[in-house]
Amino acid sequence: MMSTHIKSLIGWAKHSSSTPADTTGGHTIARLSRIRSIGFKHLVPWILPILFLSGWQWAASAGLITHRTLPQPSQVLKAFIQLTQSGELWTHLKISFGRALLGFAIGGGLGLILGLITGISRLSEQLLDTSIQMIRNIPPLSLIPLVILWFGIDETAKLFLVAFGTVFPVYINTYHGIKSVDVQLIEMAQSYGLRGWPLFRDVILPGALPSILVGIRFGLGFAWVLLIVAETISASSGIGYLAMNAREFLQTDVVVLSILLYALLGKATDLFARHLERHWLKWHPSYQKGGA
């Protein structure tokens, strides 16, 4: 049933998009380029979210969506203002953010170190890689019962889950990045007398950096996913706790607010990772002249 529904949606999308594009394609392109030249291109990514929100507000206030299903966006905003004024929001936000960052720092740092070691040394690759690949295939969330037995429901449990889940994206991308550094560049650098640390610092690490940063972005995204689960299962603080607590009192506005906060926090960390990319990869052709 589900699949037929999706198919009909796709069919509808294909059908409806083909007609206007055929008739006014040239016109649309001309208008788009004008918008871009004025400098509105920063607004374009926000068109869909704004349309979505206003549609939602209209549907909720017209009674198409009951409050038990979804609150009005304006109610979510009101909850946001109330929680901000009471200081509650800020406390929970800080705690969740701290958990995600600390967990990622431990997991990502470990992944980076392991990836560097196995990427550079053939012996440690043989020693470690098979074991790491086996542990990698354990879904982090399947560890929850064990984690609760080991650490109870306090901070360590959440940090452990986040760290465990973020080791592997960073590890794999670091390892792969080092393995894919151009051998010809290494040969050239060696012929210019670079050995050991200078060879690593000037050739291997910068060559692996694009891939390492991809791993960091994946890892940060995954850190939030794991933290949400950890916080909704067992916590006495954090955004997940805020949401679960509100559910008991049927406060759908606070629940939706928590979900939105997670989305914003995820976006914020992703922006941070992209900033790192822009800064460290400014030599890369795709990051020059603003990516154009």
Residues 6+ apart with CB under 8 A from 2: none
Q: Which of 254, 253, 251 is nearest to 240 (CA)?
A: 254
Report the residue number, 145 or 193, with the smaller CB distance to other proteins: 193
266 forms part of the interface with other proteins (CB under 8 A): no
Report the residue number, 143 or 194, with the smaller CB distance to other proteins: 194
Report the residue number, 1 or 183, with the smaller CB distance to other proteins: 183
* 77 touches 60 (CB < 8 A): no
Interacting span for other proteins (CB under 8 A) from 54-62, 128-136, 185-193, 245-253: 185-193
Residues 6+ apart with CB under 8 A from 276: 213, 216
Least gap, CB of 205 to other proteins (angstroms): 9
- Residue 176: is it exposed, middle or buried by C-beta count within 10 angstroms (0-12/13-18/19+)? middle
* 92 touches 151 (CB < 8 A): no
Task: Select from 101, 102, 120, 185 the one that contacts other proteins (CB under 8 A).
Answer: 185
Interacting span for other proteins (CB under 8 A) from 89-97, 119-127, 202-210, 271-279: 202-210
d(CA 171, CA 163): 12
Residues 6+ apart with CB under 8 A from 42: none
d(CA 292, CA 275): 16
284 forms part of the interface with other proteins (CB under 8 A): yes
Report the residue number, 274 or 284, with the smaller CB distance to other proteins: 284
184 forms part of the interface with other proteins (CB under 8 A): yes
Task: Select from 145, 285, 290, 291 the one that contacts other proteins (CB under 8 A).
Answer: 285
Binding site for other proteins (CB under 8 A): 184-185, 187-189, 191-194, 198, 202-203, 206-207, 209, 282-285, 288
